[in-house]
Amino acid sequence: MACCECHHDETAIDVTVNNNHLIYSKNPKHPANVICELCRLFYTSGWCTGTGGGVSIREDGKAYIAPSGVHKERMIPSDMFVLDTDTKEYLRTPEGYKASACTPLFLDIYRIRDAGACIHTHSQNAVMCTLLFDKYFEISNIEQIKAIPKLTETGNLWYSDKLVIPILENTEREEELSDSLQQCIKENPGTTAILVRRHGIFVWGPNIWKAKVYTEALDYLLELAIKMKQFGIPTVKEK
Amino acid sequence: MACCECHHDETAIDVTVNNNHLIYSKNPKHPANVICELCRLFYTSGWCTGTGGGVSIREDGKAYIAPSGVHKERMIPSDMFVLDTDTKEYLRTPEGYKASACTPLFLDIYRIRDAGACIHTHSQNAVMCTLLFDKYFEISNIEQIKAIPKLTETGNLWYSDKLVIPILENTEREEELSDSLQQCIKENPGTTAILVRRHGIFVWGPNIWKAKVYTEALDYLLELAIKMKQFGIPTVKEK
Amino acid sequence: MACCECHHDETAIDVTVNNNHLIYSKNPKHPANVICELCRLFYTSGWCTGTGGGVSIREDGKAYIAPSGVHKERMIPSDMFVLDTDTKEYLRTPEGYKASACTPLFLDIYRIRDAGACIHTHSQNAVMCTLLFDKYFEISNIEQIKAIPKLTETGNLWYSDKLVIPILENTEREEELSDSLQQCIKENPGTTAILVRRHGIFVWGPNIWKAKVYTEALDYLLELAIKMKQFGIPTVKEK
Amino acid sequence: MACCECHHDETAIDVTVNNNHLIYSKNPKHPANVICELCRLFYTSGWCTGTGGGVSIREDGKAYIAPSGVHKERMIPSDMFVLDTDTKEYLRTPEGYKASACTPLFLDIYRIRDAGACIHTHSQNAVMCTLLFDKYFEISNIEQIKAIPKLTETGNLWYSDKLVIPILENTEREEELSDSLQQCIKENPGTTAILVRRHGIFVWGPNIWKAKVYTEALDYLLELAIKMKQFGIPTVKEK
A172: left (phi over 0), alpha (psi -120 to 50) or beta: alpha
- Whether residue B128 and residue A227 make contact (CB cut-off 8 A), yes or no, is yes
Q: What is the DSSP letter of D149?
A: B
Q: What is the DSSP letter of C86?
A: T
Question: Minimal Cα–Cα distance from A96 to chain B, Å?
Answer: 32
C-alpha distances in angstroms, A141 versus A72, A159, A193, C115, D214?
34, 5, 19, 54, 40
Q: For residue B102, what pLDDT is reported?
A: 93
Helix, strand and coil percent figures for chain D, each rounded to 5? 40, 20, 45
Q: H helices of chain C, where?
A: 31-44, 103-113, 124-132, 178-187, 208-230
Name the strand (E) or helix (H) holding C146: none
Using CB atoms, pick whichever of A147, A159, A230 lies closest to residue B52. A147
Question: Minimal Cα–Cα distance from D94 to chain A, Å?
Answer: 29
Determine the Cα–Cα distance for residues D125 and A44; give it in Å rounded to an integer.
17
Q: Is residue A146 located within the same domain as residue A183?
A: yes
How many residues does this entry show for chain C?
239
Three-state SS for B120?
A: strand
Determine the Cα–Cα distance for residues D45 and D123; give it in Å rounded to an integer.
8
B10: left (phi over 0), alpha (psi -120 to 50) or beta: alpha
Q: Is residue B6 part of a domain?
A: no
Q: Is B143 a catalytic residue?
A: yes
* Cβ contacts of C53 within 8 Å, gap of 6 or more: C42, C47, C72, C119, C120, C121, C122, C200
Question: Minimal Cα–Cα distance from B86 to chain C, Å?
Answer: 31
- Chain A residues within 8 A of D5 when measuring between CB atoms: 7
| Residue D235 near residue D225 (C-beta atoms within 8 A) | yes
B120 belongs to an annotated ligand binding site = yes
- Neighbour subunits, C (≥3 Cβ pairs < 8 A): B, D
Determine the Cα–Cα distance for residues B62 and B30; give it in Å rounded to an integer.
12
Q: What is the DSSP letter of C28?
A: T
Nearest to D215 by CA among D135, D152, D122: D122
- Chain C residues within 8 A of B142 when measuring between CB atoms: 127, 198-199
A8: left (phi over 0), alpha (psi -120 to 50) or beta: beta
Phi, then psi, of A38 in degrees rounded to 5: -70, -35
Q: State pLDDT tens for residues C71-101.
A: 999 999 999 999 999 999 999 999 999 999 9
Strand residues in C60-186 grouped as ranges (E): 62-65, 81-84, 90-92, 117-121, 136-140, 162-168
Q: State pLDDT tens for residues A14-43.
A: 888 889 999 999 999 999 999 999 999 999
Phi, then psi, of B232 in degrees rounded to 5: 70, 25
Asked if residue D1 has pLDDT above 50, the reply is no
- Give the best residue of A33, A146, A207, A237 to mutate against chain B (max B CB count within 10 A): A146
Q: What CATH number did the domain enclosing D187 receive?
A: 3.40.225.10
Using CB atoms, pick whichever of C212, C228, C230 lies closest to residue D71. C212
- Chain B residues within 8 A of A160 when measuring between CB atoms: 172
Q: Is residue B155 located within the same domain as residue B233?
A: yes
Asked if residue A8 has pLDDT above 80, the reply is no
Which of A59, A73, A95, A143 is an active site residue?
Answer: A143
- Whether residue D199 and residue C1 make contact (CB cut-off 8 A), yes or no, is no
Pick B24 or B175 by higher pLDDT. B24
Q: Is residue B236 part of a domain?
A: yes
Q: For residue C9, what pLDDT is reported?
A: 63
Nearest to D214 by CA among C110, D206, B130, A32: D206
C4 belongs to an annotated ligand binding site = no
Give the largest CA-CA distance in chain B: 63
Name the strand (E) or helix (H) holding D33: helix D31-44
Q: State pLDDT tens for residues C30-50.
A: 999 999 999 999 999 999 999
A71 belongs to an annotated ligand binding site = no
- Give the best residue of A144, A158, A233, A238 to mutate against chain B (max B CB count within 10 A): A144
- Chain A residues within 8 A of D216 when measuring between CB atoms: 49-51
Q: Which residues of C carry out catalysis?
A: 143
Q: Is residue A2 part of a domain?
A: no
Using CB atoms, pick whichever of D71, D128, D173 lies closest to residue C227. D128
Q: What average pLDDT does the segment C172-179 reach?
A: 91
Which of D95, D143, D153, D187 is an active site residue?
Answer: D143
Question: Minimal Cα–Cα distance from C230 to chain B, Å?
Answer: 8
Q: What average pLDDT does the segment C112-116 reach?
A: 97
Cα end-to-end span (Å), chain A: 51
Q: How confident is the model at residue C1 (pLDDT cuts 50, 70, 90)?
A: very low
- Chain B residues within 8 A of A158 when measuring between CB atoms: 172-173
Nearest to A213 by CA among A156, A142, A166: A156
Q: For residue A11, what pLDDT is reported?
A: 63
Residue of A nearest to D140 (CA): A198
Q: Which of C53, C78, C100 is the last residue of a domain?
A: C100
* Average confidence score pLDDT of chain A: 94
Alpha carbon C46 to chain centroid distance?
14
**β-sheet bridge partners, residue B58:** B63
Q: Is residue A90 part of a domain?
A: yes
How does DSSP assign C194-231, residue by residue? Answer: EEETTTEEEEEESSHHHHHHHHHHHHHHHHHHHHHHHT
Using CB atoms, pick whichever of D69, D127, D229 lies closest to residue C224. D127
Determine the Cα–Cα distance for residues B91 and B93; give it in Å rounded to an integer.
7
Asked if residue B1 has pLDDT above 50, the reply is no
- Whether residue B51 and residue A220 make contact (CB cut-off 8 A), yes or no, is no
Size of interface C-D (CB pairs under 8 A): 71
| Residue C98 near residue C69 (C-beta atoms within 8 A) | yes
Q: Is residue C63 located within the same domain as residue C19?
A: yes
Q: State pLDDT tens for residues B23-72.
A: 999 999 999 999 999 999 999 999 999 999 999 999 999 999 999 999 99
Asked if residue D11 has pLDDT above 90, the reply is no
Q: Is residue C84 located within the same domain as residue C11?
A: yes
Q: How confident is the model at residue A2 (pLDDT cuts 50, 70, 90)?
A: very low
- Chain C residues within 8 A of D173 when measuring between CB atoms: 158-159
Three-state SS for D10?
A: helix
Q: Is residue C109 located within the same domain as residue C26?
A: no
| Residue C91 near residue C63 (C-beta atoms within 8 A) | no
Using CB atoms, pick whichever of B50, B171, B198 lies closest to residue A220. B50
CA quadruple A44, A47, A52, A57: dihedral sign = negative
Q: Is residue A80 located within the same domain as residue A106?
A: no
C-alpha distances in angstroms, A99 versus A57, A69, D112, D209?
15, 9, 33, 18
Q: How confident is the model at residue C6 (pLDDT cuts 50, 70, 90)?
A: low
B41-79 b/e with 16+ CB inside 10 Å = b? bbbebbbbbbbbbbbbbbbeebbbbbbbbbbbbbbbbbb
Q: Is residue A144 located within the same domain as residue A202?
A: yes
Q: What is the DSSP letter of B111?
A: H
Q: State pLDDT tens for residues D20-57.
A: 999 999 999 999 999 999 999 999 999 999 999 999 99
| Residue D213 near residue D221 (C-beta atoms within 8 A) | no
D interface residues, C as partner, C-beta within 8 Å: 7-9, 46, 49-52, 69, 71, 73, 122, 124, 127-128, 131-132, 170-173, 196, 198-200, 226, 229-230
Q: State pLDDT tens for residues B11-23.
A: 677 888 889 999 9
Question: Minimal Cα–Cα distance from D119 to chain A, Å?
Answer: 14
- Whether residue C220 and residue D50 make contact (CB cut-off 8 A), yes or no, is yes
H/E/C letters for each residue in chain A?
CCCCCCCCCHHHCCCCCCCHHHCCCCCCCCHHHHHHHHHHHHHHCCCCHHHCCEEEEEECCEEEECCCCCCHHHCCHHHCEEEECCCCCEEECCCCCCCCCCHHHHHHHHHHHCCCEEEEECCHHHHHHHHHCCCEEEEECCHHHHHCECCCCCCECCCCCEEEEEEECCCCCHHHHHHHHHHHHHHCCCCCEEEECCCEEEEEECCHHHHHHHHHHHHHHHHHHHHHHHCCCCCCCCC
| Residue A189 near residue A159 (C-beta atoms within 8 A) | no
Residue C153 belongs to domain spanning? 103-239
C30 belongs to an annotated ligand binding site = no
C-alpha distances in angstroms, A43 versus A47, A54, A105, B103, C143?
6, 10, 21, 33, 29
Q: Is residue B189 part of a domain?
A: yes
Question: Minimal Cα–Cα distance from A87 to chain B, Å?
Answer: 34
Q: For residue D15, what pLDDT is reported?
A: 82
Q: For residue A7, what pLDDT is reported?
A: 52
- Chain B residues within 8 A of C71 when measuring between CB atoms: 209, 212-213
Q: What average pLDDT does the segment D200-211 reach?
A: 98
| Residue C138 near residue C221 (C-beta atoms within 8 A) | no
Q: For residue C11, what pLDDT is reported?
A: 63
Question: Minimal Cα–Cα distance from B209 to chain C, Å?
Answer: 8
Question: Minimal Cα–Cα distance from B44 to chain C, Å?
Answer: 9
Q: What is the DSSP letter of D38?
A: H
> Angle of helix D124-132 relative to helix D208-230, nearest 10 degrees?
50
Q: Is residue A128 located within the same domain as residue A210?
A: yes
| Residue C34 near residue C3 (C-beta atoms within 8 A) | no
Burial class (CB within 10 angstroms; exposed 0-12, middle 13-18, buried 19+) of D105: buried
Q: Is residue A120 located within the same domain as residue A44?
A: no
Asked if residue B116 has pLDDT above 90, the reply is yes
- Chain B residues within 8 A of C50 when measuring between CB atoms: 144, 147, 213-214, 216-217, 220
- Whether residue B124 and residue A223 make contact (CB cut-off 8 A), yes or no, is yes
ipTM of the complex: 0.95
* Cβ contacts of C152 within 8 Å, gap of 6 or more: C189, C190
- Give the best residue of D45, D105, D198 to mutate against chain C (max C CB count within 10 A): D198
If one counts the domains in chain D, the total is 2
Q: For residue B174, what pLDDT is reported?
A: 86
Determine the Cα–Cα distance for residues B146 and B157; give it in Å rounded to an integer.
5
Q: How confident is the model at residue A9 (pLDDT cuts 50, 70, 90)?
A: low
Q: Is residue A7 part of a domain?
A: no
- Chain A residues within 8 A of B172 when measuring between CB atoms: 158-160
Q: Is residue D5 part of a domain?
A: no
Cα end-to-end span (Å), chain B: 51
- Chain C residues within 8 A of D132 when measuring between CB atoms: 231
Q: Which of D55, D73, D100 is the last residue of a domain?
A: D100
Q: Is residue B95 located within the same domain as residue B59?
A: yes
| Residue A203 near residue A215 (C-beta atoms within 8 A) | yes
- Whether residue B196 and residue A143 make contact (CB cut-off 8 A), yes or no, is yes
Determine the Cα–Cα distance for residues B92 and B99; give it in Å rounded to an integer.
11
**How are beta strands D193-196 and D162-168 bridged, if at all?**
parallel
Q: Is residue D112 located within the same domain as residue D94?
A: no
Q: For residue B142, what pLDDT is reported?
A: 98
- Chains A and C make contact, 3+ CB pairs within 8 Å: no
Alpha carbon D220 to chain centroid distance?
15
Asked if residue D6 has pLDDT above 90, the reply is no
Determine the Cα–Cα distance for residues A120 and A92; give it in Å rounded to an integer.
21
Q: Which of D100, D120, D149 is the last residue of a domain?
A: D100
- Whether residue D213 and residue A69 make contact (CB cut-off 8 A), yes or no, is yes
Q: Is residue C137 located within the same domain as residue C238?
A: yes
Q: Is residue D8 part of a domain?
A: no
Determine the Cα–Cα distance for residues D42 and C139; give it in Å rounded to an integer.
25
C interface residues, B as partner, C-beta within 8 Å: 7-9, 46, 49-52, 69, 71, 73, 122, 124, 127-128, 131-132, 170-173, 196, 198-200, 226, 229-230
**β-sheet bridge partners, residue B118:** B56, B204
